[in-house]
Copies of this chain bind each other. A is one copy, B any other.
Amino acid sequence: MSEWLDAVKWDAQGLVPAIAQDAATGEILMVAWMNREALEETARTGRGVYFSRSRGKLWRKGEESGHFQNVSEIRLDCDSDVVLLKIEQVGGIACHTGRRSCFFQKLENGRWVTTAPVLKHPDEIYK
């Protein structure tokens, strides 16, 4: 039953990076980490679940913000050490800064420029 989990090449901390990509637009929304339990629960429930390295525990995306992720596809790369999720981002906000995507810093002429607006203030998201 869990052979597919054994096929993943977990790092020394038992983690792999996971990319969340908007299933409809292809936009990359965020990258977080998964342990075995997080990936198993993601596959079983169809909801994005990660492992918070700072808090040292499972992080069910949306549990505080309400911004859940509905996962339609799970992929693994050729080295089996990076996971790719195709998702629908509930609420349209994946980033803890209140932006749609975490990748809002763009390099322009040797500077990181913020390219996306805050859609909702974090104080309004995390009450």
| A76-B112 CB under 8 A given contacts A25-B26, A31-B82 | yes
Tell me how far the C-beta of A28 lies from the nearest C-beta in chain B, rounded to whole angstroms.
6
Question: Which residues A5-35 have CB closer than 8 A to chain B?
Answer: 7, 17, 19, 21, 25-28, 30-31
The range of chain A's interface size is 35 or more
A106 in contact with B74 (CB, 8 Å): yes
A84 interface contact, C-beta 8 A: yes
A110 in contact with B1 (CB, 8 Å): yes
* A19-58 to B contact mask, C-beta < 8 Å, 1/0: 1010001111011000000000001000000000000000
A97 interface contact, C-beta 8 A: yes
Closest chain B residue, CB of each to CB of A5: B110
7 further A-B contacts with Cβ under 8 Å, apart from A31-B82, A75-B103, A82-B102, are: A7-B112, A17-B82, A25-B26, A75-B107, A77-B103, A78-B95, A78-B104
